[in-house]
Amino acid sequence: MLQLLGRRTSSNVQKVLWLLTELGLPYERQDYGGPFGGNRAADYLRLNPNGVVPTLRDSGTVVWESNTILRYLANKVAATSLYPVDAAARSHCERWMDWQLSTLNPSITPLYITLIRTPHVDRDMGRVAETGRQVRDHFQILDRWLTRNSFLAGNQFTLADIAVGIYAYRWYNLDVDRGADLPQVRGWYERLAQRPAFQNHVMIGLS
């Protein structure tokens, strides 16, 4: 039985839960991180030296870093459309997974933490405005890209949509100026929102 260590409100844990459900893999999840703590304990750090969630245990194999866990699980199950075998097709998937980490995450995560996890009196609203503009710019990039295809890596749902789609839910549910509607992003998000795994693991509110 796969063991997933991490709280269900973590975006990175949600990625893995979403994929596990898409793949139909049985698993057990244990709460770590946030209000549950435990991720700085010595036993946890022996598994994941970064002390963050999620961590996946698969018998004697331990995997950390959420996007790496996605790739590991997709490879474990065998080739599917979620993670194409063809090198060119896979590169389309992986570039958006990397984009999520390198480009989107540095702006949307501090925005989320400020608006959801920081007391109102302590919020830097100037920083909120700045990071909000950055996130809008990033989603405008997605909007232009999605004029080509239904999903990020083509016309098939892939790991790329899981990695980025988590944050689309947050963006559409944060109390922030999103500017003019982005029709391609909106359509893509609505396609994701039709998936039961997305509904069960991502559309659970913000906390």
The pLDDT value recorded for residue 79 is: 67
The pLDDT value recorded for residue 169 is: 98
What are the φ/ψ torsions at residue 78 (nearest 5 degrees)? Answer: 110, 170
Q: CATH 3.40.30.10 in the chain, residues?
A: 2-77
For β-strands 27-30 and 2-5, DSSP reports them as: parallel
Cα angle 130, 191, 84; round to 5: 95
Q: Given CATH 3.40.30.10, say whether it is the number of domain 2-77.
A: yes
The pLDDT value recorded for residue 3 is: 98
The pLDDT value recorded for residue 81 is: 86
E strand or H helix that includes residue 34: none
pTM to 2 decimal places: 0.97
Q: CATH 1.20.1050.10 in the chain, residues?
A: 87-199
Considering the four listed CATH numbers 1.20.120.450, 3.20.20.370, 3.40.1390.10, 1.20.1050.10, the one that applies to the domain covering 87-199 is 1.20.1050.10
The pLDDT value recorded for residue 6 is: 98
The rounded average pLDDT for each run of 10 residues, N- to C-terminus, in the chain (207 residues) is 97 98 97 97 98 97 98 87 92 97 97 96 95 98 97 97 98 96 98 98 97
